C-alpha cells in the first residue's frame, strides 16, 4: 500500500510545465488506495490520449498552411 502523499506528489509533478504523461502509479492493492491509484492511472491514460490528439491536430493544421 502507498500513502495518499504518493498520489499527491505525482499530481504536483504533472502540474509542472515539463510533464511526463506516461507516469503511472503501481496500484496493486484491492483496497480504497488501490482503487484511487487505478483511477489516477485511468485519468492519466485519457489525458495522454487527449494531449496526443491535440498535438496531432496542431501538426495537421500547421502542415496544411
Q: How far apart are CA 57 and CA 65, in angstroms?
A: 13
Q: How far apart are CA 33 and CA 21, in angstroms?
A: 21
3 φ/ψ sector (left φ>0, alpha ψ -120 to 50, else beta): beta
Share of the chain above pLDDT 90, in %: 32
Question: What is the per-residue pLDDT across 44-62, written as a single tens digit (0 to 9) for each?
Answer: 999 999 999 998 998 888 8
The 3-state DSSP class for residue 32 equals helix
Average pLDDT along the chain? 86
Host domain of residue 31? 4-63
Number of domains forming the structure of the chain: 1
**What is the torsion angle, in degrees rounded to the nearest 10, for the CA atoms of residue 42, residue 47, residue 52 and residue 55?**
180
Amino acid at each position: 500500500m502507498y500513502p495518499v502523499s504518493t498520489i499527491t506528489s505525482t499530481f504536483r509533478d504533472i502540474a509542472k510545465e515539463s510533464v511526463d504523461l506516461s507516469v503511472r502509479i503501481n496500484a496493486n492493492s484491492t483496497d480504497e488506495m488501490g482503487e484511487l491509484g487505478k483511477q489516477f492511472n485511468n485519468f492519466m491514460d485519457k489525458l495522454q490520449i487527449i494531449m496526443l490528439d491535440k498535438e496531432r491536430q496542431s501538426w495537421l493544421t500547421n502542415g496544411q498552411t
